[in-house]
């Protein structure tokens, strides 16, 4: 197996300063928010890599940099061995870009209400003046809708059906990698099951690679081949699902798994985790998790842990063993 | 007093529309006892929030209660209008909604919002009200309550805001709290904090809680009993452990099987075919029959089943099938 996507030292900083006049009047400097900080990861071909984390952990920002909606501030993203940010051969970049598609969280906001479903689905092919004859009808059947639905408008469909249309659109250009940003978070449980099963089937059928971005640990357990846990823009732990769920190494992963409600956790008395995610504009020094960590020592406050291999896991913690 | 805090009897809500009258809540009955958390689950459009809104008299016209009774602490409250209902709301029934920002006034300090609520509902002096406001913030776990009382809502994080909303719901010492998706907008770790808080308050004060959510995990951990709703009707009602581990209604069974488990390795998820019917276009008989794997002729012909001896509103509850 080869790494289809290679991410090295990836960082993204947003300038969140107030307008210059406010800064002068209030005597404040510029403010920078580090959304993603030095993330390294590889995604193997034909696997599902899941990024999990709470809000503000930078998981969507990584997805957006991968598809090229945002430019990295530092580090590199290579897809099929091509650095999309630096590569000068435009034909090469265009080829790789065509292999990447994205599915968004809100199926209501990501379909143009004035377009017919047929036009929405064939758009990725039509812009490259490809052959769109019968394409929409074929794809609609593939995602479990009817060919006759191609003439309808998005408002005629339910949330789950709209997400199927989004998936059909993503498949139209025959991509190899699909970045799915919270694909089922807006859906009800029974509809979520339908969409997740569909995604698994399509992966087998087309040999797709997924980057699955979600906050839902149960979805990750079902879908992922490899899981990366993010905290405050940093990759703190990475492992396969069984290893991660059965022997989590990082104290944050342990806290997250313990806090997640379980449908078999009747009357479970959890010690709720202490504190909340710190301000990403002024992250704590050293390990970002140390103010909430039950086992933090002096070294955690001073030195940022590098991610290191530990058995089947990669973990960024000084004390994990 | 031993009777239930809240008792809903055959409650129906109707909305007249151009396509005819729809019933987002249809013949729903349940009780909530002192110190009990009743979880109300269902998918979008199942009518779970609408039932909660009917109890607190917050139905948006033209939606209205068309049949049934609501009893709170032995008094019938569904006919109450205007001022009488307003006095009840906040005093006897506290509310916690999904989005804490829309429940708080952004222009008022949280201390003022709390004291105003206390002064409106309880016969106490301003000093006493302020003392109670600090005590309420302290109780919901806001550090430095005496100082934070002068803060505005925007100065709190999402989790802390939801604690303030819970303090607001509690400060007039209501006998019932209606919590509508209280943790849906929050992160996992904060959600665990809020659930633990709700459970502690319920236990310590004996407050009854109606916890409306779509999250089965939250229900399993927080609720004592659970009411499963489908297309405006009650599908199953019973103790949470029994309903979730040995569901009697095929819908509950399908819902549980389609929920991914964190404790279990990868397998294919169970699918319930189709989707919830539109309220304007409900099937005859049992509303679930077009999606039910065990449907029989009787389910299509007979009127909608009610909850009888067992827990489920089903002509052929799963328990009997197993016995056959």
In DSSP notation, B244-267 reads: HHS--SHHHHHHHHHSPPTTS---
* Tokens 């249309």 belong to residue: A165
Give me A261's structure tokens. 């409600």
**Listing from the earlier edge strand, what are the strands of the sheet with A32-44?**
A32-44, A3-15, A74-79, A82-83
pLDDT band at residue B266 using 50, 70 and 90 as cut-offs: low
Whether the predicted pLDDT of B138 surpasses 90: no
The predicted structure's pLDDT at residue A119:
93
What's the CA gap between A61 and A71, in Å, rounded? 10
The predicted structure's pLDDT at residue B109:
92
Using CA atoms, how far residue B321 sits from A45, A317, B246, B248, in Å, is: 47, 53, 13, 10
Give me A211's structure tokens. 């980057």
The predicted structure's pLDDT at residue B2:
67
Burial A79-111 (b: 16+ CB within 10 A, else e): bbebbbeeeeeeeebeebbbbbbbbbbebeebb
β partners of residue B95: B178
Contact status, residue B225 vs residue B208, Cβ threshold 8 Å: no
Test A261 with B217 for CB contact under 8 angstroms: yes
What's the CA gap between A110 and A99, in Å, rounded? 20
**Can you say how many angstroms the Cα of residue B123 is from the centroid of all Cα atoms in its chain?**
30
Interface of A with B in 259-288 (CB under 8 A): 259-268, 270, 272-273, 276-277
**A126 touching chain B per CB within 8 A:** no
Contact status, residue B180 vs residue B49, Cβ threshold 8 Å: yes
> Quick one: how many helices (H) and strands (E) in chain A?
11, 12
Mean pLDDT, chain B, integer = 87
Contact status, residue A235 vs residue A41, Cβ threshold 8 Å: yes
Give me A145's structure tokens. 């809708």
Test B275 with A217 for CB contact under 8 angstroms: no
Test B189 with A272 for CB contact under 8 angstroms: yes
Using N-to-C axis directions, what is the helix angle for A251-259 and B188-205, rounded to 10°?
50
Interface of B with A in 139-178 (CB under 8 A): 157, 159-160
Topology (CATH) of A3-99+175-261+273-315: Rossmann fold (3.40.50)
The predicted structure's pLDDT at residue B144:
83
More confident residue, B87 or A289: A289
Per residue in B98-120, pLDDT tens? 888 888 999 999 999 999 999 98
The predicted structure's pLDDT at residue B324:
46
The predicted structure's pLDDT at residue B321:
54
Which segments of chain A have a pLDDT < 50? none
Q: How many cross-chain Cβ pairs, A to B, lie less than 8 Å apart?
A: 135
ipTM above 0.85, yes or no: no
Nearest CA in chain A to B251: A190
Judged on CB neighbours under 10 Å (0-12, 13-18, 19+), A21 is: exposed
The predicted structure's pLDDT at residue B139:
84
Nearest CA in chain B to A161: B275
Q: Sort strands A74-79 and B6-17 into parallel, antiparallel or unpaired.
A: unpaired
Q: Chain A residues with CB inside 8 Å of B157's CB?
A: 276
Q: Chain A residues with CB inside 8 Å of B241's CB?
A: 266
Helices (H), B98-187: 100-103, 110-121, 126-139, 145-148, 158-170
Per residue in B1-54, pLDDT tens? 568 999 999 999 999 988 888 999 999 999 999 999 999 998 888 888 899 999
Domain ranges across chain A: 3-99+175-261+273-315
**Candidates 1.10.3720.10, 3.40.50.300, 3.40.50.970, 3.40.50.720; correct CATH number of B6-92+174-323?**
3.40.50.300
Q: What is the mean pLDDT of residues B264-280?
A: 79
**B246 touching chain A per CB within 8 A:** no
**Cis geometry, peptide bond prior to residue A54 (ω within 30 degrees of 0):** no
Q: Which of the residue ranges A305-314, B262-271, B282-291 would you say has the lowest mean pLDDT?
A: B262-271
* Among B43, B159, B271, beta carbon nearest to A194: B271
The predicted structure's pLDDT at residue B277:
83
CA distance A158 to chain B (A): 9
Interface test with A, best of B43, B214, B221, B252 (most A CBs within 10 A): B221
Q: Chain B residues with CB inside 8 Å of A268's CB?
A: 221
* Among A256, A257, A272, beta carbon nearest to B196: A272
The predicted structure's pLDDT at residue B237:
94
Contact status, residue A308 vs residue A315, Cβ threshold 8 Å: yes
């Amino acid at each position: 197996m080869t790494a289809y996507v290679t991410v090295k030292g990836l960082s993204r900083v947003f300038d969140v300063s107030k307008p210059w006049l406010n800064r002068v009047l209030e005597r404040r400097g510029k403010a920078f928010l580090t959304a993603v900080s030095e993330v390294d990861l590889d995604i193997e071909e034909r696997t599902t890599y899941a990024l999990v984390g709470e809000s503000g952990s930078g998981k969507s920002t990584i997805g957006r940099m991968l598809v090229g909606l945002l430019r990295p501030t530092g580090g590199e993203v290579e897809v099929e061995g091509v650095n999309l940010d630096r590569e000068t051969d435009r034909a090469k970049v265009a080829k790789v870009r065509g292999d990447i598609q994205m599915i968004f969280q809100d199926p209501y906001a990501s379909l143009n209400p004035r377009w017919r479903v047929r036009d929405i689905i064939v758009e990725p092919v039509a812009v490259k003046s490809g052959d769109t004859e019968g394409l929409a009808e074929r794809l609609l059947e593939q995602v479990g809708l009817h060919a006759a639905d191609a003439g309808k408008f998005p408002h005629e469909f339910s949330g789950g059906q709209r997400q199927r249309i989004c998936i059909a659109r993503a498949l139209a250009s025959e991509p190899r990698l699909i970045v799915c940003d919270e694909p089922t978070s807006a859906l009800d449980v029974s509809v979520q099951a339908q969409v997740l099963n569909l995604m698994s089937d399509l992966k087998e059928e087309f040999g797709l690679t997924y980057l699955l971005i979600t906050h839902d640990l149960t979805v990750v357990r079902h879908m992922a081949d490899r899981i990366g846990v993010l905290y405050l823009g940093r990759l703190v732990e990475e492992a396969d699902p069984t290893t991660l769920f059965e022997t989590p190494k990082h104290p944050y992963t342990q806290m997250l798994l313990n806090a997640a409600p379980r449908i078999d956790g009747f009357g479970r008395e959890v010690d709720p985790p202490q504190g909340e995610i710190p301000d990403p504009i002024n992250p704590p020094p050293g390990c970002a998790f140390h103010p909430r960590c039950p086992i933090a020592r002096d070294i955690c406050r001073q030195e940022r842990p590098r991610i290191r291999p530990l058995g089947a896991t990669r973990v960024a913690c000084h004390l994990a063993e | 007093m031993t009777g239930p805090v809240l008792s809903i009897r055959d409650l129906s809500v109707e909305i007249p529309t151009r396509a005819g009258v729809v019933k987002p809540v249809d013949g729903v009955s349940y009780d909530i006892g002192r110190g009990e958390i009743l979880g109300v689950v269902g998918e979008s459009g199942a009518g779970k929030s609408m039932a909660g809104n009917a109890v607190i008299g917050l139905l948006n016209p033209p939606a209205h209660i068309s049949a049934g009774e609501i009893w709170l602490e032995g008094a019938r409250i569904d006919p109450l209008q205007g001022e009488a209902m307003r006095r009840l709301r906040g005093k006897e029934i506290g509310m916690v909604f999904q989005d804490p920002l829309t429940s708080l006034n952004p222009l008022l300090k949280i201390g003022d919002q709390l004291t105003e609520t206390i002064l409106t509902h309880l016969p106490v002096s301003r000093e006493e009200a302020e003392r109670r406001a600090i005590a309420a913030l302290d109780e919901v776990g806001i550090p430095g309550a005496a100082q934070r009382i002068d803060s505005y809502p925007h100065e709190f994080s999402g989790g802390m805001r939801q604690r303030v909303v819970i303090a607001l719901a509690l400060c007039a010492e209501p006998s019932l709290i209606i919590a509508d998706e209280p943790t849906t907008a929050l992160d996992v770790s904060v959600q665990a904090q809020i659930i633990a808080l709700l459970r502690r308050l319920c236990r310590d004060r004996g407050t009854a809680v109606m916890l409306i959510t779509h999250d089965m995990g939250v229900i399993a951990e927080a609720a004592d009993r659970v009411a499963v709703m489908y297309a405006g009707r009650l599908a199953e009602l019973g103790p949470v452990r029994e309903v979730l581990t040995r569901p009697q209604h095929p819908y509950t069974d399908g819902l549980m099987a389609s929920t991914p488990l964190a404790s279990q390795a990868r397998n294919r998820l169970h699918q319930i075919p189709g989707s919830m019917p539109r309220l304007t276009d409900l099937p005859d008989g049992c509303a679930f029959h077009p999606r039910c794997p065990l449907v029989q002729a009787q389910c299509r012909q007979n009127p909608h089943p009610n909850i009888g001896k067992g827990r489920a509103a089903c002509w052929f509850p799963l328990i009997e099938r197993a016995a056959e």
